[in-house]
């Protein structure tokens, strides 16, 4: 089960990269998406089902139209109405891009032309075609989508806690240079090892409790530095994850 989840997540991540990426990386990311399909029995079965008997040449004639203005060499794309046909149509486009039968740059400037810019044309293509394609696949596996959200939140939480550990080390060095009384320095020497250790072992609850104590310590010594405020602001993002 875990392997199935990871395989579907690889495909959805490839689609996320396509939606949020650039024209420069698109060919490689399309290949990544197709590779993820080939490695997943679940996805292979899904796309085999929607493309079984699918007449892609007829679909291209129906949905890739020549512009009314003659001589421009441009056209217009219509996305199929049925969700299964959207999956089949975009998947087949990916296959043609990947095998070189259709060139992505030519396709973009013909059907998604924006001021002659590959960047802007690709952004329009990604939003109008790849985004709905990805969202339909994600809807086919709602449980995997929820697990993916949990996994992404966990990764983000780890990133924030790692950054907090780094900043706490810098904060410790800053406070060490302050002209503190002996008892204040002793309190700092107790707080910082506990703070850094909590961040290091990813103990979010313990770290936030210790940071509350550290905030009062800074008020007690009358210190209001920008670096400390940035530290507290970063810690506050943990509540949103």
Give the pLDDT confidence of 129-157 residue by residue, as tens digits: 999 999 999 888 776 655 566 566 777 88
Name which of 13, 37, 89 is nearest 58 in CA terms. Answer: 89
Question: What is the residue-averaged pLDDT of the chain?
Answer: 88
The strand pairing partners of 82, in sequence order, are none
What is the 3-state composition of the chain as percent helix, strand, coil, each rounded to the nearest 5?
Answer: 80, 0, 20
Looking at the chain, the whole-number percentage of residues with pLDDT higher than 90 is 62
Confidence of residue 71 (pLDDT cuts 50, 70, 90): low
CA distance 157 to 155: 5
Mean pLDDT over 154-166 rounds to 86
CA distance 144 to 155: 16
Name which of 65, 60, 57 is nearest 110 in CA terms. Answer: 65
* Structure tokens belonging to residue 200: 């290091």
Mean pLDDT over 202-210 rounds to 88
Tell me the pLDDT tens digit for each residue of 25-63. 999 999 999 999 999 999 999 999 999 999 999 999 999
Phi, psi of 194 (to 5 degrees): -70, -40
Name which of 220, 212, 176 is nearest 195 in CA terms. Answer: 212
pTM: 0.60
Mean pLDDT over 110-129 rounds to 89
């Amino acid at each position: 089960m875990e392997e199935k989840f990871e395989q579907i997540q690889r495909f959805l991540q490839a689609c996320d990269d396509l939606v949020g990426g650039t024209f420069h990386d698109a060919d490689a990311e399309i290949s990544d998406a197709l590779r993820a399909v080939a490695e997943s029995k679940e996805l292979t079965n899904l796309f085999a089902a929607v493309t079984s008997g699918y007449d892609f040449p007829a679909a291209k004639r129906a949905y890739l139209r020549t512009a009314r203005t003659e001589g421009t060499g441009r056209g217009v794309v219509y996305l199929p109405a049925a969700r299964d046909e959207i999956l089949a149509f975009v998947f087949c486009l990916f296959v043609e891009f990947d095998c070189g039968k259709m060139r992505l740059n030519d396709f973009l400037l013909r059907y998604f032309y924006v001021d002659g810019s590959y960047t802007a044309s690709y952004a329009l293509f990604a939003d109008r075609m790849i985004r709905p394609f990805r969202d339909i696949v994600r809807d086919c596996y709602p449980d995997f989508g929820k697990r993916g959200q949990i996994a992404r939140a966990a990764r983000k939480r780890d990133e924030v806690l790692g950054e907090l550990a780094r900043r706490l080390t810098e904060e410790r060095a800053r406070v060490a240079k302050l002209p503190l009384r002996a008892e204040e320095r002793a309190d700092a020497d107790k707080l910082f090892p506990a703070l850094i250790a909590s961040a290091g072992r990813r103990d979010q609850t313990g770290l936030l409790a210790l940071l509350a104590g550290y905030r009062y310590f800074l008020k007690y010594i009358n210190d209001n530095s920008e670096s400390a405020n940035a530290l507290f602001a970063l810690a506050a993002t943990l509540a949103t994850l």
